[in-house]
Structure 1
């Protein structure tokens, strides 16, 4: 009796022996949510450091208890570039690090002692000011390109005059024991500088978002 296999069985064995082995399944890609979270954390830390760098630029004396610094510039840029949520977190991180004792506030100060200074109201308002700038900036960025710069300036000024200055006036009243009129007279000194800083912040924001358009896309 012949031991040869029928042709169809022989061909099937040959095909099976010569068939290429399927590639092993590729490792699953990193979840998009995880990548997005890690990016957000990096951006929050980066902009917290940016605000700290702005604060360490030498202050300009004004003849009042609170000098002019670049802190508010950094706060507004953080909000306009990152949006309300991440801007708030970046500036809150900066504030927490400073209150913990790291000298990242104006004039290289830090620690809880800064809350006893006349500038305490301004300082504590910074995270909310960044959030306001981010929310208003999001509205500005939905406008036609030719209007965006002006609307971003308005967003920065809105955050300054709706959040930072009122809180600063309350802080001046509490720490200096002055009335609303006297506190307002002190606060007015900072208005021209704030206008200039917001003009610059809007320009910086547009430049950053042109270079990195995904920074605000789909983000709060």
Structure 2
């Protein structure tokens, strides 16, 4: 595959995952300060399917869309208020989580199994996302640590375990169905 073809394919995949996370933001359950969405699952998949750089890039593109006012987050949130509001810690964590998941996946992809993907998604994805989100709720939204955990983690554990498991089954299935998308270590 030529470099130009690979570049076009990469741009399409980045745009696809940016669109997927934007769509996932439109499907939400308003809870407390932080709504339940499928966006975290797309972050996990972006890293594991696109790899470190492209996975992170798709999340950066989404953040840029938010910054210019595109209503791509839950409840139609966008602009500066979304990037500094109570849920901003989760949003800012997405490129980092996607990058870490992709970086690890690029190194273990040849022997990738579902149980390894679960570990990668848990430790490089979900824990990073929750650490940023809870810390933001504490430091920027002024919640004490107990309240930040109570509203920013506890209600999400069952759903996020389900999303983590689903993403961990989907990524290897996509590699088998479309070997061309399997992330490879950047040279």
In the alignment, which residue of structure 2 is the partner of 1:75?
Answer: 43
Alignment correspondent of 2:29: 60
1:168 aligned to 2:144?
Answer: no
User: 2:36 aligns to what SS in structure 1?
Assistant: coil
Asked if the contact 1:52/1:104 (under 8 Å) is kept, the reply is yes
Residue number among 46, 60, 70 corresponding to 1:102 in the alignment: 70
Query: How much has 1:92 moved relative to structure 2?
Result: 0.9
Structure 2 spans left out of the alignment, 5+ residues:
none
Match of 1:192 among 148, 158, 164: 158
Matched, 1:216 2:179: no
Gaps of 5+ in 1: 1-30
| Stretch moving more, 167-176 or 39-48 | 167-176
1:60-82 alpha-carbon deviations (Å, 9 max, x no partner): 233x2111111101111111101
- Report the counterpart of residue 18 of structure 1 in structure 2: none
Residue in structure 1 matching 2:172, options 206, 211, 217? 206
Matches within 5 A, 1:118-197: 118-143=86-111, 148-186=113-151, 187-197=153-163
When Rg is computed on C-alpha atoms for both structures, the one with the higher figure is 1
Q: Distance in 2 between matches of 1:82 and 1:160?
A: 14
Q: CA RMSD in A?
A: 1.8
Q: SS state of the match for residue 218, structure 1? A: coil
Deviation track 1:149-171 (CA, whole Å, cap 9, x = no partner) reads 11111111112344111110111
Equivalent pair of 2:26/2:74 in contact (CA under 8 Å): yes
1:23 corresponds to which residue? Answer: none
For 1:46 and 1:101, the matched residues in 2 are separated by 19
Cα distance in 1 for partners of 2:108, 2:149 equals 29
Confirm or deny: 8 A CA contact 2:52 2:100 kept in the other structure. Answer: yes
Work out the CA distance in 2 between the residues paired with 1:213 and 1:70: 25
Structure 1 residues 38 and 192: CA distance shift in structure 2, 3 A: same
Whole-Å Cα distance in 2 between the matches of residues 217 and 94 of structure 1? 21
Give, in whole Å, the separation in 2 of the partners of 1:78 and 1:196. Answer: 17
In structure 2, what is the Cα distance between the partners aligned to 1:213 and 1:44? 17
Q: Which residue of the partner structure matches residue 115 of structure 1?
A: 83
